[in-house]
Amino acid sequence: MTRAALTLATLLLSGTANAASPVPTVTGAYVEARTAEVFAGGCVMNSEAETMGRQAVLAWRVDSGRVDGVAIDGLSVVAALSATHNLGMREMGGEAPTRVKAIVYVDQRASLAQRDALVSMARTAIGDLALSIVEVQAVPIAFDRSAHGASVQAGDASLQVEAHIHHDPSCGAMTWFHPLSRGADAEVGLTRAQAFTGQALGSRWRQVDKRSAFVGTFAF
């Protein structure tokens, strides 16, 4: 093979690799908490499958990135979800929610264009879980992330999650679900506290000390 042909082949292979692994356009920190455990033994899983897990709070803090050409570095967006069925059961072949209502909180510091971009990002991240956004509010968002966990306060939604969980190996516990957000690279966490106290979703909830969270990063 001539040097020119070898160079061309190398470029083609490089282009194929780049096409297969596009560079993420938005990256940052991610945390979610649900109202059913995501790490549990089979008996707990069965008891919660039909009656719990219909609500969740999800939060993204952007480190860097653009959406539709709009820079959203350093801004946060939070979504509170309430569904007709457990949000995770479709992963296991169960019934998917027939409707999911969402309220989205966007960072009050964002410009109008950035607020639209944050809502668009949330829609991209959770897909059909965001088909029915009943309200968008611009509020102060406190998103604190450390090696030990994460805490978020945004309007009527709040959560506090520890990054590490403790479990008794004799109980047969396992991780049943994946994070609800696209592009999340997150580990199971312990929800120390989670709450939604608003009226827009038709339901309110509070939860403490449940293995119902994921905490980590996102990129898409």
Tell me: the pLDDT tens digits for 123-152?
Answer: 999 999 999 999 999 999 999 999 999 999
Cα angle for residues 74, 115, 57 (degrees, 5° grid): 75
pLDDT at 91: 73
pLDDT at 52: 81
What is the model's pTM? 0.86
CA separation for the pair 148, 150 (Å, rounded):
7
Q: Which amino acid is at 85?
A: H
CA separation for the pair 198, 54 (Å, rounded):
16
Residue 69 lies in a domain: yes
Instruction: Let me know: does 75 contact 103? Beta carbons within 8 Å.
Output: no
- In this model, does residue 1 exceed pLDDT 60? no
Q: What percent of the chain has pLDDT over 90?
A: 68
- In this model, does residue 6 exceed pLDDT 90? no
Q: Report the number of distinct structural domains present in the chain.
A: 1
| Residue ranges making up the domain that contains 214 | 25-219
Measured from the Cβ of residue 124, the count of other Cβ atoms closer than 10 Å reads 16
pLDDT at 167: 65
| Choice among 9-13, 34-38, 83-87 with the minimum mean pLDDT | 9-13
CA separation for the pair 53, 146 (Å, rounded):
26
Over residues 163-210, the pLDDT tens digits come to 988 766 556 677 888 999 999 999 999 999 999 999 999 999 999 999
Chain mean position to CA 2: 50
CA separation for the pair 159, 57 (Å, rounded):
8
Residue 2 lies in a domain: no
**Cα torsion for 17, 22, 23, 26, to the nearest 10°?**
-160
- In this model, does residue 47 exceed pLDDT 70? no
pLDDT at 43: 63
Contacts 24+ apart (CB under 8 A), 163-167: 163/187, 163/189, 163/215, 164/189, 164/190, 165/39, 165/189, 165/190, 165/211, 166/190, 167/39, 167/211
pLDDT at 199: 95
Residue 178 lies in a domain: yes
Residue 11 lies in a domain: no
| Choice among 15-19, 28-32, 111-115, 155-159 with the minimum mean pLDDT | 15-19
What residues does 62 pair with on adjacent strands? 28
Which residues, in sequence order, are CB contacts of 147 under 8 Å at separation 6+?
A: 163
Q: Which two tokens stand for residue 209?
A: 């000390």
